[in-house]
Amino acid sequence: MKRYGLIALSALLLLFLTATPVSAAEKPCPKNKIVKKFWCETCKEIREFNECPTQAYVWDWKAHKEGERNPHMFLPEGWGCQTAGYYCIRCGKCYLTPGICADCNDDTESRKSLGKVEFKCPDGHSHHAPGTGFKLKEGLYEEEIENAGSCPTCGKPLEVVCSKSGTCPHVGK
């Protein structure tokens, strides 16, 4: 009798574990993508658009339009780290899709952060461009690095270092 009870209990436990839905929060947050964005040398910041909307740029348009070329406009391309995901407002857990946070019954909010990328050689040199033989992910609208390549001086694989960037005050932050 004990044996049948143990088998039945085991079967119920197995059924319970397989029937319980897995929360989306148990999946890891998206990792950094290395994407081509825009670099503002004045602000020391990777930007999503080729203009850098600083407070002075927004509120003092006439001063920026006259005289020298505005250093916050027509930015050159640069490589940046991008992290995006939907985070539970109350507990901060990451979800891959927007919606209700199942862990603490709250809303999720979209967060995207950009940072500067440095491609570091094992010998200590760092570069702002990927190394020799770097590979892009195919079929994407936005250029994204799949493999950073190797160091041009020593031939060893490059390390990708992501860092927060930005020194200018921006509207909406």
Domain count of the fold of the chain: 1
For the chain, report the end-to-end CA distance as a whole number of angstroms. Answer: 67
d(CA 148, CA 159): 8
pLDDT computed for residue 90 by the predictor: 87
Residue 137 has pLDDT above 70, yes or no: yes
Q: What is the pLDDT of residues 58-117, one digit of tens each?
A: 556 666 566 566 777 889 999 999 888 888 888 888 887 788 888 888 888 888 888 899
Whether 81 maps to a domain, the answer reads: yes
Whether 6 maps to a domain, the answer reads: no
Residue 120 sits in which domain range?
A: 32-164
Whether 16 maps to a domain, the answer reads: no
Q: What is the pLDDT of residues 143-154, one digit of tens each?
A: 999 999 999 888
